[in-house]
Amino acid sequence: MAPDARGRVAELHAMRAEVLRGPSDRATAAQHGKGKLTARERIALLLDEGSFQEMEPLRRHRATGFGLEHNRPYTDGVITGWGTVHGRQVFVYAHDFRVFGGALGEAHASKIHKIMDKAIAAGAPLVSLNDGAGARIQEGVAALAGYGGIFQRNTRASGVIPQISVMLGPCAGGAAYSPALTDFVFMVRDTSQMFITGPDVVEAVTGARVSQNGLGGADVHAETSGVCHFAYDDEESCLEEVRYLLSLLPRNNRENPPAEPGDDPADRPCDALLDLVPADGNRPYDMRRVVEELVDDGEFLEVHERWATNIICALGRMDGQVTGVIANQPQSLAGVLDIEASEKAARFVQMCDAFNIPLLTLLDVPGFLPGVDQEHGGIIRHGAKLLYAYCNATVPRVSVVLRKAYGGAYIVMDSQSIGADITYAWPTNEIAVMGAEGAANVIFRKQIAAADDPEAMRRRMVKEYKAELMHPYYAAERGLVDDVIDPSETRRVLIDTFAMLRSKHADLPSRKHGNPPQ
């Protein structure tokens, strides 16, 4: 190698060493002092060891005003590239808060645009590690345009590749809309916040004083707003769960989720189910224990665990095949559907359908939640979102009526009439327009009022209604369920059914797109 070439190589190595060192030890210490890892430390935890290939590490901004001309660090505050998670390709970008507070400028945005384009072209998941202070004020409208390019690509990638946003620091203003457009949002308690307007603006406009965490912290978004799907105490746990989620998702919408055959027998009897679910429809129980019995090794990942707790949405495996589970939770609000539960389940159904994940629906639903707040809040519109999502889904769909399934909620929860491929019921099922008490009071109100003993007449009519219209085999006799099964056989029956449906092919009518209820 010629001397001048050796000099150039040495210069390159020096530049790369500077890139890896980052801005300064002081900046790194400050990041650690906040309980936060650096961008490179986060990438190392997310990706398989030694798999990261960085893209544009030597990129610098070209802004020349407001002091930026004297401060042109490499990477421009964002690290981009690709690597593997469990041996499967993943693209990633990570804001480096040590450089300009992770603020987005023109070069910074260009790097993100490029890695997003690569992820879409390669058909591989995209993970963003967010820790930035918003738009770089010194670059003006160029920074704002950079956000527009990110939003446009988030939308183009939606339903094509899995997009996961991991919030590891502040995310304010318009920047918060990128995570909102992705499939999953992870947050870390105390160190990550998301809001459109910060506490100072809120106080100035409304007079209300609130902390950053009280306004947009992980617990607020996991429990109240539903913006956050998963919340963890530390970055290590958070990133480990991101890896687990990626193991359950396909690389793109043209592939099926990865199968992982295990040791849990497909024909394992579930005798515990006979005792888990009380025959009395008014007695609560924990539906999570039912899900544990059905999935492989009792292991599943619950999405939105702390928001809209009256419905469960989870990803698990059955005989090694990834399955999306939607189940009413009788322990919370008796398992009714309300505005938030409808939105939560609708979004989950759409995600599963987009990424070829079969759907298992477990019904124990007394109806929609009554109330002025629900009606004025648009329960009709929000409930229709779940109905639309199920009707639009083309993946294999199997439902099981465990106990009660009343009224419109029964129809909405993937009944056979809206396209469920196979519907089963347990011998404890009650499928009806409403509960027997309410139905008898409506149908036989005149006879009850005219009786010498109205209460005795009412009890008699309730018993008669149950015997005629709510016995466990009424729906089966009319072909509205395909079979009534022994609860202990549920896992085996479901696995056999999903295996039968694995080659299902269904086409929607030709159209640009639907117009779902909003």
Q: Is 173 a catalytic residue?
A: yes
Q: How far apart are CA 474 and CA 2, in angstroms?
A: 88
The residue from 149, 198, 407, 408 that is catalytic is 408
Q: How far apart are CA 285 and CA 392, in angstroms?
A: 31
Q: What are phi and psi of 137, to 5 degrees?
A: -60, -35
Q: What are phi and psi of 32, to 5 degrees?
A: -65, -35
**3-class DSSP assignment, residue 313:** strand
Evaluate whether 463 touches 508 at the Cβ level (below 8 Å).
Answer: no
Which among 358, 345, 353, 354 has a CA at the least distance from the CA of 259? 358
Strands of the sheet with 88-95, listed across from one edge = 53-55, 78-85, 88-95, 126-130, 163-167, 184-188, 230-232
Q: How far apart are CA 419 and CA 67, in angstroms?
A: 62
CA distances, 397 to each of 286, 313, 394, 473, 502 (Å):
23, 15, 8, 22, 10
Q: Is 324 a catalytic residue?
A: no
**3-class DSSP assignment, residue 322:** strand
What HEC string does 406-429 produce? EHHHHHHCCCHHHCCCEEEECCCC
Q: Is 408 a catalytic residue?
A: yes
**3-class DSSP assignment, residue 496:** helix
Evaluate whether 86 touches 48 at the Cβ level (below 8 Å).
Answer: yes
Q: Is 266 a catalytic residue?
A: no
Evaluate whether 93 touches 115 at the Cβ level (below 8 Å).
Answer: yes
The residue from 123, 174, 377, 407 that is catalytic is 174
Which residues are registered as beta bridge partners of 165? 128, 185
Evaluate whether 287 touches 312 at the Cβ level (below 8 Å).
Answer: yes
Q: How far apart are CA 67 and CA 128, in angstroms?
A: 29
Which ranges constitute the DSSP H helices of 55-158?
A: 106-122, 141-157
Residue with tokens 């300064």: 24
For 243-258, b/e burial (b = at least 16 CB within 10 A) is: bebbbbbbbbeeeebb
Residues 6+ apart with CB under 8 A from 402: 277, 290, 362, 363, 364, 426, 428, 429, 487
Which among 306, 128, 133 has a CA at the least distance from the CA of 231? 306
Q: How far apart are CA 481 and CA 446, in angstroms?
A: 33
The residue from 409, 439, 440, 476 that is catalytic is 409
The residue from 173, 198, 226, 281 that is catalytic is 173
Catalytic residues: 173-174, 408-409
